[in-house]
Amino acid sequence: MSKKRMYHTGTGPAVLLVLISTLGFSVYPIFGKIVFAGGASLATVLFVRFTIAAIVFWTITIWLEGFPRLSLKTWLILWGMGGIGYSMMAGLYISSVLYIPASLAALLLYAYPVIVTFLAVLTKQERFSVFKLAGVVLATLGLVLVLGLALQGISIIGVSLALGAAFVYSVYIIIGNKMLETVTPLVSTAIISTSAAVTYGTIGLPIGGATWHLSGHTWLGILGIILFSTIIAMLTFFQGIKQIGATSASIISTSEPVMTVIFAVILFNEHLTIIQGIGGTFVVIGGILAVISPSSKMPRQLNSPAG
């Protein structure tokens, strides 16, 4: 009896941590709408975001774990994951809100669990199962309902950016799955944030342009991305995973698009049709089926999608 009480006592705070993380990630596209409306460029937003995040994560990493001793191969893989994979995903996702509602972007991004499952089966990291098949079918049907068969009134560019982010993030998870076996989440996040900052600093700013003369309101939006959608969201997610595991944390995180939709409706008066709402529900449930599949070893996330 005492063991059960201890389990429930520890689970409650862990679930709360993951919910806080999910809330932080859910407002990422919301803040994106705000900062872009204020004239901030994509390169400026993400360069500042990843630079400050890298400083914070390195400080915490060295304080708690010391400077990591990794092989050159591991450094290069993590550097490539951040400089190419994660920076691309973050850029594609937040850019999609320039063309489509934040609520729709969030629903489209959550096609990633099904894509991860498909890629994991192809690369023999997982075995196919009835649960996975049901998840793929349900999520595909959901996407059709969300987008509409003719995509009438929906920006093809915005949809492509959001789905592109989902695909890139899926590849990122598949590659990063092996890294988590030898590298702690804090170390991997510190390196990935650093390489993403370097990418946007050396390539993004020269090509996309820097926008430093922004209003205080816009800078507050950028601060929100850094504080809530990056630092707090990642740290609480990692801490929650330690206590309840990656699968449970991933299932709880599927509430992220729901939270984004709620914020978008309240702040921007966005709305989804009933059919799109049903489709979004199918996408989320399909992702859950992929995660909870019996005997499944769902590749663990290095970061939550909007991180």
- Residue 193 scores a pLDDT above 90: yes
Query: Which long-range contacts link 68-74 to residues 24+ away (Cβ below 8 Å)?
Result: 68/183, 68/184, 68/187, 68/191, 70/183, 70/187, 74/179, 74/182, 74/183
- Residue 306 scores a pLDDT above 60: no
Cα(214)–Cα(258) distance, integer angstroms: 31
255: Cα within 13 Å, side-chain hemisphere: 13
Residue 112 banded pLDDT, cuts 50, 70, 90: confident
Cα(120)–Cα(290) distance, integer angstroms: 11
**Looking at residues 34-58, what average pLDDT do you find?**
96
Say what the pTM is.
0.85
pLDDT of residue 3: 39
